Chains A and B, each alone.
Chain A
Amino acid sequence: MGEKSYIEIAKDVKLLCVNSEKFKTNVIDVDFFVPINEHFAALNVLSSLMGHTSKNYKTFTSFNRKVESLYGADFETNIATIGEKVRIRFSIEIPDDRFSLDENSISEDAVDFLIDIILNPNCENKKFDEENTAREIRFTLENIEAEKNDKRAYALSRLRQLMCENEPYGIDREKLEEDVRNLDSEKLFAAYESLMKTSTIVVTACGSLNGDMLKEKFCEFAESIPERQAAALSTVYVEKAENIRYFTDEMDITQAKLVIGLRSGMKNSEDDYFAFRVMTDIFGGGPYSRLFLNVREKMSLCYYCGARLLREKGIIFIQSGIEEENYEKALNEILNQLEIMKKGEFTEEDFNSSITALCDAFRGVGDSPEAVCTFYNSQVFDKELVSGEEFAEKISQVTREQVVECAKRVTVDSVYLLKGESGNNE
C-alpha cells in the first residue's frame, strides 16, 4: 500500500481505490468537504434527507428496497466536522461481485446508485419536496436534541462549544437548532447547489472492485456538475490558552462527567504530529497510560479516564465519569499527570508501552475495508499519504525528548463539569 495516493480525476475530485482480494466485501465512501459556513444547518438536514429519499426513490420504502436489493448493503449518509471542515459522507458496503446471484455486478450497481442519489435528489423547481423537507427537519431537530441522552457525548459537545466559542469549531447547538427550524425547501436546495459546486469531492474505495470502472463513472459524474470551484478549507489552530476557564452545567444525572480541553500547541495538522500522538497516548491512551493507571487503577475514581488528540484542530480532550464529590481530586490528579508529562517524569516503560501498542495497532489497519478507507481518508489533505506500516515506522522514530517537548507546549484551556441537579444528588 506504500505507493498509494489520491489521484485528481477532475477538478477538485480525488479518487483512491485500494485493491485487495482478501475481503468478502467492497466499501465505497463518497465525501464532500466544505468549510463551516452559512449552509451548515441545511447541510445537517441534507445529509439525512439524501440518505432517505431521492428523485428516483421518492419514498423511504422504495429507497430502502433499492438498498436491500444490493444484497442488504450497509448504506449510510452522515455529517461530521473534521477540524473546521464539514464532511458529508455517502458510504456503502456490499458483498463482492463474486457473490452475485445473477449476472449483475453488485459494485457497479452500488456505484450507479450512489451517483444517482447524489445527482438526483428529490427536488423540483429549485425546491426540495415539501413533505420530505418537513420530515427531515423534524429528524434533524430530534437528533440534535438526542445528544442530551448520551451524557458523555453531550458533555464533550458542551465543552467544545464553550472552549471554542470564538472559532467556527465551537458549534452552538442552540443556534444550530434555531437555524434548522428556520429552514425551508428553497434554502435546502441552495445548500445542495452550493455543496455540489463548492465542495472538494473525495472518493475512497477498498476491496476487489474495478478501479477503472470507478474512475470512469466518477469522471463522468464530475463532468455532469458544471462550473465547480472548490471553497478553500482551513482550520484555525489556537496554539496557547491564556488561562484556565471553568464551566459547569447541571442535569438530572447519576454520574458526573468531567471534560478538559487542552491546546496542544500544534500549529497545523502536520506539526510534530507523530510526537504529539505518542505524548497523548502515554498520557491517556490505552490501559498502560498515566491516566488509566493512576486515576482509575490507583485511585479507583472512575471507570474511564482517557485523552484523545484531535489532529485536525490541535486540541486534546480528556474525558472521565466520576462521583461529583471527587471532582477536585480527579481534576488535580489529571493535571498532576500532565505536569509529570511536561517534566519528563514518565517512565521508560510508559514510553515503550505506548510506542509498541501504537505501532502494533497501525500495522493492522489494513485488515478491514472500512478501516482502510477511514485511515486513508483521514490523510487526504496531508502532503503525503502513508500506509499503516509507514505510519508505525514514523511512530517508532519518535524520541522521549520529542515527547517531553510536545508536552511542554500543552496548555489547559477549559475545564467542564456536568453534574447532578443541586439538591437532587444521589
Chain B
Amino acid sequence: MNKIREIKNELLNDSYFEIDHKSGFKIFVYPKENYSSAYAVFGTKYGSIDTCFRVDGNEEFTTVPEGIAHFLEHKLFESEELDAFARYAKTGAGANAYTSFDKTCYLFQCSGNFEASLEILLDFVSNPYFTEQTVQKEQGIIGQEIKMYQDEPGWESLFALLRAMYHNHPVKIDIAGTVESISHITADLLYECYDTFYNPANMALAVAGNVTVEQVLKIADKMLKPKKSKNVERKFQIEPESVVEDTIVRNLSVSMPIFAIGFKERIETPCRSLKETLESNILLDIIGGKTSALYEEMLTDGLINTTFDTEYFEGFGYSAHIFSGESTEPQRVRERINKEIEKLKKHGVEKEIFERIKKKHYGGFIMDFNDIDSLSNSLIGSYFNGDGLFDQLNVLESITLEDINNRLNAFNIENSSMSIIKQG
C-alpha cells in the first residue's frame, strides 16, 4: 500500500504530498494550480564525493575512479534499444540530468504527455545498460566537458580553494574527475556503482506543477518495482581541522585576478542542520552582503567590483564560508574580511542589521515558491538532508541575534585559505 501524507503551509497557502510508495521509494508531489507544465526529478543520494564505500555484509571497501557518478549519469541515458533522449523526443519533454558533490538527478519538464514522459524517466533510470563500446564513446564527450571547465576561471578558483582547504575529503576532486581518472572506468564498475546507490532507500522522486497525486501514482505503480535497499557505508578519511595551504595561485587566461577565500569550519558531525545553514547565510550577508559596510568600503577603495559574492558551502563532511570575486589586490581583500570578522566577534552584530537581513530572507523564502524546477529540486534536496520543504520558515523565525553571534565561531582565521587565479 502507498502511504500518503499532505503537508500544508498556511502562509503560502500551498501544500504538497509526501508518499511512501509500496516499492520502497519516497515520492513527493507538489500540485500547482493553473500551471501548464510539470517538472519531475528522480534523484539518488550519490555524487562525486562517494568514491569509497561498502555495502552491508561486505568486508572490503571498494574504491572507484574519480568522476564515476557523473559518468554513470551520462551513460544511464542509453539503453539496448532507443536512448532516453530519443524517447523523450516523441513526447516533447525537455530532459536533462546533473551530478553534484552529493547527488545525481534526472529530470524533465513538459506541458503535455506528462505520463508518458514520467514513464520514460522511471524506466531508463531503473534499467541500466552499459557496454565497453558505449563507455569508450563517452570518454571522448566527457573529456571535452572536463576541458571546458578547465578554461572556466570561476570553477577552477573554487576547486583550487577546495584543494587548499581539504587534505583528504573528496570534495576537493572535480565532479567530472579527470581525463586520466575516467579512462579507468569500465562497464563492470558502472554496474557496481549503480547497484550500490540506485535503490529505494537512497532515492526519491519529486514532481511539481500541473500534476496530481493520482497521475504520478498511476505511473509509479506501474514502473517502480520493489527492490532490496542496500545499506551503504561511505568511507572518508579523517579530515584535519587545519587547512593544507594558506594560499594557492594558479595561472589561467583571465582579465584580472579572481579570488576565493574560504573559512573551513570545524565540524564534529558530518551534516549541518537547517538552522546552522540559515544562520550562516544570514551571517554572510551581515559580513559581506550588498548592504554591509565592508562591501561599500571595499568598492570605494577599488579593492573589489560588483562580482563580489558570498556562499555557505556545505555537504557531507565538509563546510566552509566562502567569499569570492575579482580584485587586483586579493590579499588586501582578505585582510579586510578578517578584520571585519574580528570586529564582529568582539562587538557583536547590531540588532537592527540582523532584523533587516532576516526580513530579506523571509522574502527570499517566499520567492522560492514560484518555479516548479526549483521546487522539485528543493524537495529532493531537503529530503536528502532530512528536512521538510516548508521547515525553513519556522527555523528562520526561531533564529535569534544570539544564535548569529554564536555562529561567528564557525569562522576561524587560522583555518582559512585563499585561491588566486591570475593571468600567467
Contacts and interface: CB of A to CB of B under 8 A. Distances in A.
Contacts of B364: 72
Interface string B126-157: 00000000000110111011011011111000
B291 A65 contact: yes
B394 interface: no
A25 B371 CA distance: 10
A286 interface: yes
Interface in A67-106: 67-74, 93-96, 99, 101
Contacts of B255: 142, 145-149
Interface stretch (B16-24, B34-42, B213-221, B334-342): B34-42
Contacts of B369: 24
Q: Which of B93, B138, B291, B363 has most chain A Cβ within 10 Å? A: B363
B223 to A, nearest CB: 21
Contacts of B34: 20-22
Given A24-B369, A71-B366, A254 B37 contact: no
B254 A148 contact: yes
A321 B299 contact: no
A317 B302 CA distance: 37
A115 B97 CA distance: 41
A213 interface: no
Interface stretch (A6-14, A29-37, A264-272, A364-372): A364-372
B372 A367 contact: yes
B33 interface: yes
B293 interface: yes
Interface string A119-137: 0000000000000000100
A150 B424 contact: no
B362 interface: yes
Q: Which of B138, B147, B150 has most chain A Cβ within 10 Å? A: B147
A60 B299 contact: yes
A310 interface: no
Interface string B86-127: 101111111100000000000001111100000000000000
B94 A361 contact: yes
A13 to B, nearest CB: 28
Contacts of B293: 61
Contact of A142 (B33, B305, B356): B305
Given A99-B11, A356-B91, A25 B367 contact: yes
A68 B367 contact: no
Contacts of A296: 141
A161 interface: no
Interface in B274-296: 290-293, 295-296
A60 B290 contact: yes
A238 interface: no
Interface in B327-380: 356-357, 359-364, 366-367, 369-372
B50 interface: no
A387 B331 CA distance: 52
B140 A72 contact: no
Nearest to A366: B36
Given A61-B296, A72-B359, A138-B302, A24 B89 contact: no
Given A72-B360, A255-B148, A149 B254 contact: yes
A381 interface: no
A238 B151 CA distance: 34
Contacts of B370: 23-25, 368-369
B209 interface: yes
Contact of B151 (A93, A151, A368): A151
B148 A149 contact: no
B326 interface: yes
A95 B256 contact: no
Interface residues of B, number: 73
Interface stretch (A162-170, A179-187, A218-226, A299-307): A299-307
B110 A360 contact: yes
A359 B92 CA distance: 8
Given A23-B370, A25-B370, A361-B94, A73 B363 contact: yes
Contact of A357 (B33, B92, B209): B92
B306 interface: yes
A255 B144 contact: yes
A65 to B, nearest CB: 5
Contact of A356 (B85, B92, B140, B151): B92
Interface string A342-374: 000000010011001101110110111100000
B291 to A, nearest CB: 4
A149 B370 CA distance: 32
A357 B89 contact: yes
Nearest to A52: B306
A95 B152 CA distance: 34
B406 interface: no
A139 interface: yes
Q: Which of A95, A138, A360 has most chain B Cβ within 10 Å? A: A360
Contacts of A72: 359-364, 367
A5 interface: no
B356 A68 contact: yes
Nearest to B117: A360
Interface string A200-211: 000000000000
Contacts of A61: 291-293, 295-296
A288 interface: yes
A12 B263 CA distance: 52
Contacts of B424: 252
B93 A95 contact: no
B172 interface: no
A64 interface: yes
A146 B256 contact: yes
Contacts of A69: 356, 359
A20 B253 CA distance: 46
A139 B359 contact: no
Given A60-B295, A149-B258, A367-B37, A95 B366 contact: yes
A322 B144 contact: yes
Given A302-B141, A356-B90, A95 B363 contact: yes
Contact of A22 (B33, B37, B112, B307): B33
B152 A288 contact: no
Nearest to A27: B370
B237 interface: no
B296 A59 contact: yes
A256 to B, nearest CB: 9
Given A286-B94, A364-B37, A149 B154 contact: yes
B273 interface: no
A230 B162 CA distance: 53
A251 interface: yes
A364 B367 contact: no
B300 interface: yes
Interface of B: 11-12, 32-37, 85-86, 88-95, 109-113, 137-138, 140-142, 144-145, 147-148, 150-154, 209, 251-256, 258, 290-293, 295-296, 299-300, 302, 305-307, 326, 356-357, 359-364, 366-367, 369-372, 424
Given A135-B302, A138-B302, A252-B252, 19 more contacts: A52-B306, A61-B291, A68-B360, A71-B360, A72-B359, A73-B363, A93-B367, A99-B366, A138-B305, A142-B326, A148-B254, A296-B141, A297-B141, A301-B140, A356-B92, A357-B92, A361-B92, A361-B94, A364-B109
21 contacts: A22-B33, A24-B369, A64-B290, A68-B359, A72-B367, A74-B367, A93-B367, A143-B305, A146-B255, A149-B152, A149-B154, A151-B151, A254-B150, A288-B86, A303-B142, A321-B144, A353-B89, A356-B91, A360-B91, A361-B94, A367-B36
Top 10 closest pairs, chain A to chain B, by CB? A71-B363, A300-B140, A72-B360, A364-B37, A360-B92, A145-B255, A353-B89, A356-B92, A72-B363, A363-B111
